[in-house]
Amino acid sequence: MTATDSDKAGLLEAIAASRQDGTYEDGVLDRIHAGIERLRPHTAIPAPALEQHRVSGPWRTLFAQFQVRHTAGKPIEHDSDLSIQTFKAFPKQPLRVRVLDQEIHHEGCHYNNVVRVMAPDGRTEGHVIVWGRYRVEAAQPQRYFVEFYQAELRALAGEDAGTLRLAFGLAEDAPLVRPLKPPRLHSDIVYCDEELRINVGSLGGVYVLRRVDRPPVSVSVS
C-alpha cells in the first residue's frame, strides 16, 4: 500500500466514523479535514480541465460539509424541502434526502446534481435533478465554472409521475421540469483519481465523493 492509499483509507475510515444520526464529533471532523489536506498534493488528475473525460461519470457523496463549518453537522440523509433542493423552482414541500449523487459528463458539459428523495408519505421516492452546465479555463485547471439552469422532479424508473405529484402535493398538471436562475458557482476539484474525488465549492462547501458503477440517471451516454 502506498502512502496515498493509506491516506485514502484513513480518510474513508474517518468518514465512516459518524454518529448514529450521521453527524460527526468535532474530533472526527478534524480528522476528515486533515485527511483531505494530506491527499490534495497527491491528486492523480492535477488538471481536470485538461482531462475532463476522466472526471465524467456518476459520483456518490460520502461526506458533505455544506457551506461554512457550522453547518457541517448535517448528515447526507436529512430532512429538507423541495424548495431548498431546487433553488426555489418548486414549492416548499417537506421531503427526506436519501442519497446525494452528482453526474458529470464531458460531452455536453453536464454537471447535474441528482438527489434521491422521499415524499412526506414515507413511501413514494423520486429524484430531484438540478441540471447544470460547466465550463473550464486552462488558466485554472482545477476549477469547474457551473451554471445551474433547470430543476426537475422525476419519478423513479417504472413509477408514475401522477403518483409523484400527488405525494408532493402538486397539482395533477403541475410541470415537473422548471427553469431557474440561481447564482453562477464554481467548484474546485482538489483531488481526483479513478475512485475518489474531493471538491471545494465557491460557497465554502467541502465534498468527498466516490465513483459509482451504474448508468447515469440524468444524461444518456453512448
Angle between helix axes 26-39 and 3-16 (nearest 10 degrees) is 150
What are the tens digits of pLDDT across the range 82-129? 999 999 999 999 999 999 999 999 999 999 999 999 999 999 999 999
What residue has cell string 465554502? 204
Q: Which contacts of 89-94 are long-range, i.e. CB under 8 A and separated by 24 or more positions?
A: 89/150, 89/151, 89/178, 89/179, 89/180, 90/151, 90/153, 90/168, 90/170, 90/178, 91/169, 91/170, 93/120, 93/168, 93/169, 93/170, 94/120
- pLDDT at position 222 is 60
CA distance 11 to 6: 9
Mean pLDDT of 130-151: 96
- pLDDT at position 99 is 97
Q: What percent of the chain has pLDDT over 90?
A: 84
> 37 near 200, Cβ under 8 Å?
no
Distance between the two ends of the chain, CA-based, in angstroms?
35
The mean pLDDT value of the chain amounts to 93
What residue has cell string 485554472? 140
What are the tens digits of pLDDT across the range 153-189? 999 988 999 999 999 999 999 999 999 987 789 999 9
- pLDDT at position 183 is 74
Q: What percent of the chain has pLDDT over 70?
A: 95
Which residues neighbour 22 within 8 Å (Cβ) at sequence distance 6 or greater?
75, 76, 77, 78
CA distance 207 to 45: 17
Q: How many CA atoms lie within 13 A of 16 on its CB side?
A: 6
| Domain 3-211: assigned CATH number | 2.40.128.280
Compute the Cα dihedral for 140, 142, 143, 146 and give only its sign.
positive
What are the tens digits of pLDDT across the range 43-86? 999 999 999 999 999 999 999 987 655 445 578 999 999 999 99
CA distance 200 to 196: 14
Which secondary structure element, helix H or strand E, spans residue 146, and what is its range? strand 140-155
